[in-house]
Structure formats: structure tokens, C-alpha cells
Amino acid sequence: MGDCNHQAQFERSKLYRILDANLDRAREGLRVIEEWCRFGLDDIQLSKECKDLRQEIGQWHSAEIRAARDTPGDAGTELSHTQELQRLSVQQVLAANFCRTQEALRVLEEYGKIHSSDMGVAFKQMRYRVYTLESTLIPYQRQHLLKSSRLYLVTSPTDNLVAIVEAALRGGLTLVQYRDKDANDRVRLENASKLCQLCHDYGALFIVNDRVDLALTVGADGVHLGQEDLPIALARQLLGSQYLIGCSTHCPEDLHCAIQEGADYIGVGPIYETPTKEGRRAVGLDYARYAAEHATVPWFAIGGIDSKNLPDVLNAKARRIAVVRAIMQAEDPTLMTQHFLSKLA
């Protein structure tokens, strides 16, 4: 009988150590997320949900469970992974801590069933609340980054595509659109996958031109549509509310239609003639002035903009620009990106 009691006490001690470690882990992960919701996004509702979850978790962290802690005897304290040593962006921090929190809650749900019949149920519910929090935060984060982005790079086909985009990202670029009208789908898929991962590593938004299917496949942040592409409403139906949808506009009527149909942002142009839009006449700076007065979503002046004519574009009240050749063909894409951003600040 004594041996059975001893064995039960031994198992209970081990169980409490598991619960203690994961109660701490879940609360720590949520606190990291909460700090961004509070100070990064200034969102009181998201911050409150994080705080409420932390407090509910804390109510299960009894003195009895805490007493089982044995940090010096924990073999896992020396374990680490190279990916944990560096974070390149806020997105990586959030993703890592959502995973950390969700994993901890799953452990608490399973082992909590042994400790208390109510504990497993409580942590299952909390786990789904964290899933909801994550799905809410993704579109919020995308919208926040879109609104703060001043420079938008639209790529053009080149042998050193990835290297140029990374150079621009090092210069502070936060918004990239992959555009290639001529490549086959296998090449597009490969390039889009590489660029998407690269942009997310740097905390930048990645948009795919035209192709909703490609955007979904690679996990892009959204899609950009032209006037002859898929209707915005249908793209929204396919993508859902989490994704960004941009739309090219060439006149006031296009602008109002795009906004009414639910575009998250619009391109305004081409301001100047550009080989990227061969055959389309320039709309000039008057349309930029019109957009400044009437656009209710973020808008980017686009079309032949470079460092020489940028002052005129800024004088037309444009506060965001999209460029292609100015960065894709620059001798130093990093330096050119920094130059544009300094003028747009």
C-alpha cells in the first residue's frame, strides 16, 4: 500500500511539473502577443482578450502546482534551436509565440484532464480562443502594415529577381508585388514561393499580381487586380476577409468603383508614360490630385515615377508611390529604396 502511495505521489509531482511549465509558457506567449496588440496596434479589444486569457490561465496556477517546480533539475533548460536565436520581424515574433501558446494549451488540455475534469475542458476552450485571436490579428496586422507602407515595389522579370527584392527589403521596403506576365506557371510558383517567404522574413507584405490561385497557394498577403481582371467581389469571395485586394485605377470612375467594390488599396496611374503599361496613355498629375481629395483607402501613385520626377508627384499630394524600374534597374536597390523612403517620410 505504501509503495502505491509513493508511486502516486511521484506521478503527481511529475504531472505538476508539466502543468507548471506549460502554465508559464502559455502566459509568457500571450504576454508577448499582448504587447504588440497594445503598443504596436493600439487595439484595446485585442489587448483585453490577451489579458483575460492570461488571467484565466493564472487562476489554474495553484501554489501546489508551483511548488513542484524544479528548474535546476529540468533537462530541457539547455535545449534550444537556431531558429529561436533570431527574429527578423514582428510577424516572426507573433507567429512563434502563437505556436508557443497553442502548444502549451494543448499540453494543459491533455494533462489537465488527469488533474481535474474541468481543467481539460477549460483549456480546450482557451485554445480555440487563441486560434480566433490569431485569425483576427492576421488581417488587422496586414491592414496596419498596408497603411504604414509608403513605397510599393512591383517586380519585373529578371535573372536576379530574389537578390534585388532582398536588397530593397534591406533598405526598409515593406510592400512587394510579384508581377510576371510571360513566365509559365511553374516558374511563377517557384518565384512567388521564394519571394513570399523572403518578404515575410523581413516583415513585409507580399502581393501577387492577377492570380488569386497563386496568392492562396504560396500564402501571400493578397492579390492585385487590373481593370480587366477578376472582379473584386469574386476575388473577395475566393480569398475571404483576411487577404488584401488592390486594384489599378486610371480615372475617377475607376477609383470610386474600386472603393465601392471593397478594394483595400488602389493604384493611381500611370502618372507618366511607362513601358510597363505599353499602349496606355499617362493620366498625369491631375488624377493624383483628385485621388488625394477623394480616395478613402490607401492609394499609390504609379507609372514612370523615379527620383527625378518624385518632387512633382509629392507636390500633387501623393504620399505613397509604387515603382518598378526605379528599383528593379537601380545600381544599388538598397540605396534607392532608402532614398525614396526618406523623401516619403
Look at residue 311 and tell me if it is in a domain.
yes
The pLDDT of residue 85: 60
180 and 253 part of one domain: yes
The pLDDT of residue 75: 60
283 and 156 part of one domain: yes
196 and 308 part of one domain: yes
Final residue of a structural domain among 128, 143, 158: 143
189 and 49 part of one domain: no
Does the CA dihedral 259-260-263-267 come out positive or negative?
Answer: negative
- Check if 156 is active-site: no
323 and 208 part of one domain: yes
- For the chain, the domain total comes to 2
Residue 300 falls in which region: left (phi positive, over 0), alpha (psi -120 to 50) or beta: beta
The pLDDT of residue 280: 75
Contact 262, 297 (CB under 8 A): no
Residue numbers of the domain that contains 290: 149-344
- What lies within 8 Å, CB to CB, of 64 at 6+ separation is 16
Q: What pTM, to 2 d.p., does this model score?
A: 0.81
Among residues 100, 149, 248, 320, which one is catalytic?
248
225 and 312 part of one domain: yes
How far is CA 194 from each of CA 53, 79, 201, 210, 223, rounded to the nearest angstrom?
Answer: 36, 30, 11, 18, 16
Q: Cell numbers at residue 257, please?
A: 468603383
303 and 338 part of one domain: yes
Asked if the bond preceding 231 is cis, omega within 30° of 0, the reply is: no
104 and 138 part of one domain: yes
Across the 345 residues of the chain, what is the mean pLDDT of every consecutive 10-residue run? 64 94 98 95 94 98 92 62 66 92 98 95 97 91 94 97 98 98 95 96 95 96 96 96 96 98 98 79 96 98 97 98 98 98 96
120 and 158 part of one domain: no
- Check if 277 is active-site: yes
The pLDDT of residue 5: 64
Look at residue 77 and tell me if it is in a domain.
no
- What lies within 8 Å, CB to CB, of 65 at 6+ separation is 16, 19, 20, 23
User: How big is the CA angle at 249 (ends 247 and 255), to the nearest 5 degrees?
Assistant: 95
Contact 340, 170 (CB under 8 A): no
222 and 307 part of one domain: yes
Among residues 25, 100, 127, 179, which one is catalytic?
179
- Check if 188 is active-site: no
- Rounded to whole angstroms, the Cα distance separating 176 from 184 reads 20
